């Protein structure tokens, strides 16, 4: 990252009335949050691709819950980093100035809220919400373990054989239906209201900040051109160049925990 790039990006942000931000796995990885995607990211012998699917749920909901219960448990010692905090402080400053701000995230860990961000669009749902497969009701749920039966479960070791949770062990809604994690699984559609909020923010913003996501996978791949067409300046913060780097207005290379505090400082 050059000082010039940083200065130009700062100038673009301060000249923008409406700001939108899209964050992805990169910003949470700096807090040590595992995604269970890619090399080395396994839980037992599974990757997220094996368990974060409607097929896995249909096959063994008890195992899927054991995986998510583990992911929720892991969050206990994870904290927002300087990047999350810089975004929250930036949002507060813009709010004081009456400048609209929308934070759209692909992350399900909730660290933006822990850092103090208040307007967050969760494109991929949240680890901390559940949805009833019977009545469809969605609610916040912070129980760890998710039910008493899961106490002490979730060992991620490669050779662990699952305990085999049955229907009686699963978390349930008031209506009696089983609840599932309210996250968007592979093969599922993003929720219309979240997509609409994200695309509206991209269309209306004067500056779009893309942090820790490669911007080639939907919906990021759609949001960035959408913002450009609407006349926004696009600033990318990533550890490395991405396929979008060639045509964003400003690319800042580095960990978001280092780049964002400088970029978003008053």
User: Minimum distance between the CB of residue 185 and Zn ion, rounded to whole angstroms?
Assistant: 19
162 binds Zn ion (CB under 5 A): no
Work out which of 175, 216, 217, 265 binds Zn ion, going by CB under 5 A.
175
132 binds Zn ion (CB under 5 A): yes
Report the residue number, 126 or 238, with the smaller CB distance to Zn ion. 126
The size of the interface with Zn ion (CB under 5 A), counted in residues, is 7
Report the residue number, 32 or 136, with the smaller CB distance to Zn ion. 136
- Candidate ranges 23-31, 111-119, 134-142, 255-263; the one touching Zn ion (CB under 5 A): 134-142
| Backbone phi, psi, residue 253, to 5° | -90, 130
The answer to whether residues 68 and 181 touch, using CB atoms and an 8 Å cutoff, is yes
User: Minimum distance between the CB of residue 171 and Zn ion, rounded to whole angstroms?
Assistant: 11
173 binds Zn ion (CB under 5 A): yes
Q: How many C-beta neighbours within 10 Å does residue 132 have?
A: 20
Give kind and range of the element (H or E) at residue 83: helix 82-96
User: Minimum distance between the CB of residue 191 and Zn ion, rounded to whole angstroms?
Assistant: 18
Report the residue number, 134 or 261, with the smaller CB distance to Zn ion. 134
Q: What is the largest CA-CA distance in the chain?
A: 60
Q: Which of residues 206-225 bind Zn ion (CB under 5 A)?
A: none
The answer to whether residues 212 and 220 touch, using CB atoms and an 8 Å cutoff, is no
| Backbone phi, psi, residue 232, to 5° | -80, 150
For the annotated catalytic residues, the residue numbers are 124
Report how far residue 141's alpha carbon sits from residue 127's, in angstroms, rounded to the nearest whole number: 9
Work out which of 11, 79, 95, 135 binds Zn ion, going by CB under 5 A.
135
Report the residue number, 183 or 207, with the smaller CB distance to Zn ion. 183
Work out which of 177, 222, 225, 261 binds Zn ion, going by CB under 5 A.
177
Strands 250-253 and 207-211: unpaired
Cα–Cα distances in angstroms (integers) from residue 18 to residues 23, 155, 203, 233, in the given order:
17, 45, 10, 11
Report the residue number, 156 or 177, with the smaller CB distance to Zn ion. 177
Report how far residue 131's alpha carbon sits from residue 119's, in angstroms, rounded to the nearest whole number: 21
| Sites of contact with Zn ion (CB under 5 A) | 132, 134-135, 137, 173, 175, 177
């Amino acid at each position: 990252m050059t000082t010039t790039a940083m200065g130009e990006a700062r100038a673009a942000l301060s000249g923008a009335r409406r700001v939108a931000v899209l964050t992805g796995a990169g910003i949470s990885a700096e807090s040590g949050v595992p995604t269970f995607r890619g090399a080395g990211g396994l839980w037992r012998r599974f990757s997220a691709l094996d368990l974060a699917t409607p097929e896995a749920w249909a096959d063994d909901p008890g195992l899927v819950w054991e995986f998510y219960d583990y992911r929720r448990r892991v969050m206990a010692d994870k904290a927002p980093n300087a990047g999350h905090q810089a975004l929250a402080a930036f949002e507060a400053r813009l709010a004081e100035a009456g400048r609209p701000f929308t934070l759209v995230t692909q992350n399900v860990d909730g660290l933006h809220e822990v850092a103090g961000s208040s307007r967050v669009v969760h494109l991929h749902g949240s680890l901390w919400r559940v949805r009833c497969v019977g009545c469809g009701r969605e609610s916040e749920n912070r129980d760890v373990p998710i039910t008493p039966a899961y106490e002490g479960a979730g060992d991620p070791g490669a050779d662990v054989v699952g305990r085999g949770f049955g229907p009686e062990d699963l978390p349930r809604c008031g209506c009696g239906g089983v609840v599932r994690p309210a996250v968007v699984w592979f093969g599922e559609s993003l929720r219309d209201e979240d997509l609409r909020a994200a695309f509206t923010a991209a269309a209306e913003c004067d500056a779009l900040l893309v942090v820790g996501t490669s911007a080639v996978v939907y919906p990021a791949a759609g949001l960035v051109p959408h913002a450009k067409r609407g006349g926004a300046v696009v600033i990318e913060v990533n550890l490395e160049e991405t396929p979008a780097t060639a045509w964003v207005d400003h690319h800042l290379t580095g960990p978001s925990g280092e780049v964002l505090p400088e970029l978003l400082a008053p």
